[in-house]
Structure 1
């Protein structure tokens, strides 16, 4: 049976969900608070589609490691405690998930979803002709500066899908790293890159052209109106929008739209990126690089280099912290000084909605016509297609 499905949220998760629903024969209405689609968290994320690097942040030893990071000036993690019960609940649940057995179980779930997402994106590209978003299968290199970190990295290598490289092999693979003091790395050849914002634009074009999707932009939803066990309408400004079926994909703002009996343990983790133009004179890496110790990723997206890093747990402050970006720019110049024009880089900060366990929330709720698809953290683009396809199948 064909139903009208209302999707709240116009980022990569909401747009992929709308696309998957339309492919399943549903009619979709997508509501986005901003005047443009994919203009917040999905605008300039890291660009790496790291399907085999999906281990949750919560793991044994992470709290102690995080304390060490907090004492560093260029720490990849920053925590600002607030008088916010939601932050404290999230942090306590995160601490509870910092156990090796929990990490392995959650990591297995994420890996399954990630590989499904990779297959789904391949199907959309090859069968639907969804192209022109800087997609490449260029491989991912996790590079190590210390013997200790390199030894840990080798312990978890999947020999069927990954290769261990010493310093000589690493530089032969990626000559732009000739002067960087990496002692070795782990290469995953079938990892991918793409431009998330351009991907969202291609999805929106397809959805507009299909005649089965209507967009309402610049319309923030402030309240869900329920009767008994069913959501009947949305409060959108002064207007009321009736709904038949509803999917909540509003990222870190979703928790504020919750209903009685519905707990959404999602909190924003702010991340940063620089998008620097690559001119003919520059020597940008072809393979995606993760600087393991510094927690910085580098991804070439056509004629641009995307540099991304940082996790700030600072509440709902969406402002761009100039000091964090200065730190990231300095580290990029130290590592890959000739890769791009960092002086012309576009700066970005985005609020990545994360659950304490790192596993997104996908599926039904206590309200029989309400589903959720949120909490993907830093893996939003990586998991978007698989999450959307999985939810569309559940709803069908």
Structure 2
């Protein structure tokens, strides 16, 4: 079949790879000049299935009120009169129950664990490199209440067979020697030894080249205007370079997907939750992290990427705003310097922001729509890199009418209806 994939971020490119590998003629359209120049460009760098948790969790509403008064808050809500924003926020709050959290986390861990396996297979098959490391991740807790609150997460990890270790401060230092000078600031940690790290931008660009070798056609600098349809099928994509026709279409446009499908009568509850990162050159190897450290207090991930440290985090409800406030950079700098002081040169750090396409329940939307040849692969939020390969493989299976290796019925858009 001829298949058009809309979007050349990590989700779009992995989807194109698996579709091409299964024998399809694939074309990828993107408005940027090359792959992974938006949300996939500067993310935190984690491939962390075990930490795949929805932001909508018990206690979050009360924490959100507290965060409003924090200098280095992990959640920022800018005053907005946009009805769509508040509709999404209310839907997220409805998911902040213990029952829904357990269901949503289970879904997320399922696709994330599968995705890590797919990534490992792809790496073995192709020899792809992207500053990858397989040394696990470590979530550090600065107070006892945080450590005491990991019970529900551990239940899910046990249920899904995910290896984990609960560590005391000395154990945290053993896992991450750079934490030794600040051991007194840590009460404990949760380590997931099976997690990985890597540069999503490097991965996506390397896979883009492999896709081209496999026959995938990439058309960059293309403005995607609308989807043309007749009855229950898409007949073409209208673009700035003319109509593009195919047998099937996969939407992987992240935060920009809802606007494209709204004229089709499809309500895709994906919101652009803004995140930030800094990338810091390492100047002291002994003080630097060896893998990923999650700073639970500030919801910041500190990741080793080759000779750099990527520090990413925060969730800002601000629509499609892409400004770079100094206060957000200060939060990232504070977290990394407080835990790994002097490891990197902050004067040479680069500051970045991206729009994470988040659903109110945290689970991505992967599956068909009521239009017979239109599929959605989006809404991965902060976990697009973690879930990318598994999502692409699942999507290829669904297009091929092959039963995926994992349950997917509860991942489709239909779950909201």
TM (normalized to structure 2)?
0.91
Q: 2:100 and 2:106 mapped to 1: Cα distance?
A: 10
Distance 2:187 2:114 in 1: 33
The answer as to whether partners of 1:154 and 1:186 remain within 8 angstroms in 2 is: no
What are the superposed Cα offsets for residues 130-172 of structure 1, whole Å, 9 maximum, x if unpaired? 4210111111111111111112235643466111111122223
User: How far has the Cα of 1:278 moved from its partner?
Assistant: 1.5
Structure 1 residue aligned with 2:230, among 220, 223, 227? 227
1:238 offset after TM fit, Å? Answer: 5.9
Which one has the bigger helix percentage? 2
The match for 2:40 among 39, 42, 47 is 42
Do the aligned residues in 2 keep the contact of 1:154 with 1:164 (CA within 8 Å)? no
Q: Which moved more, 1:79-88 or 1:188-197?
A: 79-88
Deviation at 1:330, TM superposition (A): 2.9
Q: 2:222·2:241 contact (CA, 8 Å) conserved in 1?
A: no
Query: SS where residue 351 of structure 2 aligns?
Result: strand
- Range with bigger deviation, 160-169 or 312-321: 160-169
Cα separation, 1, equivalents of 2:249 and 2:266: 14
Q: Secondary structure at the match of 1:29?
A: strand
Query: 1:65 and 2:66 equivalent?
Result: no
Correspondence 1:258-273 to 2 at 5 A:
258=261, 259-273=263-277
Partner residue in 2 for 1:318: 322
Assess, with a 3 A threshold, how the Cα gap between structure 1 residues 238 and 168 changes in structure 2: closer, same or farther.
Answer: closer
The Cα shift of 1:240 comes to 2.0
Matched, 1:290 2:288: no
Query: For structure 1, which runs of at least 5 residues remain unmatched after alignment?
Result: none
| Deviation readout 1:280-310 (Å, 9 max, x if unpaired) | 6662111311111121111101111111111
Shift of the alpha carbon at 1:226? 0.9
Decide whether the 8 Å contact of 2:377 with 2:395 is kept in 1: yes
1:83 Cα offset (Å): 2.3
CA contact (8 A) 1:282 1:340 kept: no
Provide, for residues 227-261 of structure 1, a one-character-per-residue CA deviation record: whole Å limited to 9, x for no partner. Answer: 11111111212622223210000010011101333
Decide whether aligned partners of structure 1 residues 301 and 242 sit closer, same or farther in structure 2, where only a CA change above 3 A counts: same
State the superposition RMSD in angstroms: 1.5
Count of residues in Structure 1 that have an aligned counterpart in Structure 2: 392
The answer to whether structure 1 residue 381 and structure 2 residue 385 are counterparts is yes
How many angstroms apart in 2 are the aligned matches of 1:187 and 1:215?
39
User: Residue 309 of structure 1: which of 310, 313, 316 is its match?
Assistant: 313
Compared with structure 1, are the counterparts of its residues 171 and 297 closer, same or farther at alpha carbon in structure 2 (3 Å cutoff)? same
| Other-structure match for 2:411 | none
- Where does residue 131 of structure 1 map in the other structure? 128
Q: Which runs of 5+ in 2 are unaligned?
A: 401-417
Superposition pairs for residues 328-367 of structure 1, below 5 Å? Answer: 328-367=332-371
1:16 to 2:14 alignment: yes
